[in-house]
Amino acid sequence: MRTNARLILSVTTSTDIAPRKNANELLARISWAALICATLYVCYFSHLGAIGFVGPDEPRYAWIARDMAETGDWVTPRLYGKPWFEKPPLYYWCAATCFKVFGVSETAARLPSAISALVATLAMAWLAWRIYGAETARWLLLLHPTCVGMIGFSHAAATDMPFSAMLTIAMVCAAVVVGLVPDESSRAGVQRAAPLQGEPDVQRRRWLALILFGFFLGLAVLAKGPAGIILCGGALFFWALFSSRWREALGVLHPGAIAAFCVTALPWYILCARRNPDFFHIFIIEHNFKRYLTPEFQHIQPFWFYVPILLAALLPWTAMLAAPISDAWRASKKGLWRRSLGLLFVSYLLSTFLFFSISRSKLPGYILPAVLPLGLFLSQAVSLRVRNIVPGMRWMAATGGVTLICLSLGIFAASDKLPVAIDYFPPQPLPWVALADFAAAIATLGLVFRRRAKHALVAAIGSVVLTLYFGLAGDFAWALDLGTSARWAASPPDDVPVDYWSSHSATYRLNRSFRYGLAFYIHRELPEWSKDTSERSWIYTTPRQLSELYSMGLQCSHFMAFPPVVVCEVGQSPAHAPSGGKPQ
């Protein structure tokens, strides 16, 4: 009887536990999915239009895209009506399409970068899932979007993110071509030395990977030029050199990949060269060779310039880099690195870093392709420690909490350095966001000490997401926009017709960022004011230059301040502007 009772009790208990366990697993999956979706949306798509165009590139690229949408000329990029061959057209095409679909706005102009960031993250997550398993892919989808570099460039109307995304996806396809990705997702972590040529499924998959490799490499060349070929070729060269797998590396030169690349990239180059005889000289010689080999473009930086840039781009997870470095050292001692996926992306990182470090012209966005593989290494390191395969999870989570404390304190320490245009500081809701960051960091450290390191890291990620969502809201976004963008300054007074305002305005010694910004928002390139030019009713200048205008005998009856720009009104009063907005 006792045996039967125990058997019945055991069966009953097992029956009760199984549904409960399944329900808990389902709830956990739903929670992870909701957190991942919220993170991807907030970090890549929220507040795309909160701030107007900043810097010289955003308004120029947006102008060219708008010109394409308005004129229907999708071959020759034009800035102020003149051909502009600084960059190939991929970004312009995408932004012009967004303008046609959603209307002309900052959000539409930045949407191609946001979509590119999302696609690249999903591609890297797929690769992490196939090689390392679902745990690594999950952490990549959380850590990747919350890096400062990915957030910043996904919100920029520029070519950096589309180029980095297309190039990274091409490298993911290259990993499949050279046989680093297992054939079945259930065999995560098992790698083949080379694909088995006799298997039809493997052959089809390799053909698809070759075609996609050529396609995305062609898109990278359409995004930024021949640098895509150099970076991809350099990555495969270093990988073959370190792993002694030259045959697999040369396999990417398959006719199928070459054909896909040519069909994707060459038509525009050929058409543009036929319509513009000076295209190759300006684009290849001026904007590629001279930019790389000479300091002509004035972006001179030391060789080590990209070391701090990379570290800053990975914030708030920079300190966690010690973990993948330790894992790589351990793998090298065991001789496991030659056949690993990590070696290919270390080669990709090395190729990118060396190529742009040698360049005589350096800008922060150039190194963005190196941020994507670093996110993969961080995610793998976290996954190993979450599963207790490698010790050190508490330390990794603690570094995230400490970094958040430093960032929240840094906001207050640098409060008077932020380019906000407002009479009081800090504008709402910035102080509350900083305080919430500090509280989240303390809670993160508390969870670490309670031996809940995984929950602590999730709390740190959630803090970054909430900071981004609520930080660019309220008065702070408005004040930051007013202090960095020309959007507000370009708006004429209510009693002045837009056409009259634009045709009677000029600039005086403005930096090029605000000149390009004003040109985009006014929809006309403004001339530089001088005594020899025709009289203008309004002059855009800086507070520092007002005294210089006064010394030249120019009297400003009224001015509007849009720090750091002022609009000086001279000559005819706005009330006497001719009806219909036609310039006299």
pLDDT score, position 7: 46
Q: Which residues pair with 540 in a beta bridge?
A: 507, 567
Edge-to-edge strand ranges of the sheet holding 505-507: 505-507, 538-541, 565-569, 558-562
In the structure, what pLDDT confidence band is assigned to residue 529 with cuts at 50, 70 and 90? Answer: confident
Query: How high is the mean pLDDT of the chain?
Result: 81
Span 111-115, mean pLDDT? Answer: 96
- Please determine, for residue 179, whether its predicted confidence score (pLDDT) is greater than 90: no
CA torsion, points 421, 426, 428, 431, in degrees to nearest 10? Answer: 150
Residue 498 binned pLDDT confidence (cut-offs 50, 70, 90):
confident
Lowest mean pLDDT, pick from 124-128, 277-281, 375-379, 416-420? 416-420
Asked if the model's pLDDT at residue 112 lies above 60, the reply is: yes
Please write the tens of the pLDDT for every residue from 27-81.
878 888 999 999 999 999 998 988 889 888 999 999 999 999 999 999 999 999 8
pLDDT for 576 equals 39
Q: What are the two backbone dihedrals, phi and then psi, of residue 339, each rounded to the nearest 5 degrees?
A: -105, 10
457 has a pLDDT exceeding 70:
yes
Residue 487 vs residues 66, 105, 236, 319, 324: alpha-carbon distances, Å: 16, 11, 44, 37, 43
Q: How does pLDDT run across 423-444, given as a tens digit for each residue? A: 555 555 666 677 777 777 777 7
Q: Summarize the confidence of residues 505-528 as an average pLDDT.
A: 88
Higher pLDDT, 523 or 5: 523
Q: Ranked by mean pLDDT, which of 163-177, 287-301, 399-413 comes out on top? A: 163-177
462-473 pLDDT tens trace = 888 887 887 777
Check residue 8 and give its pLDDT: 47
The structure's pTM equals 0.87
Closest CA to 129 of 84, 175, 178, 90: 175
Q: Give yes or no for a contact between 440 and 404, defined as CB atoms under 8 angstroms apart.
A: yes
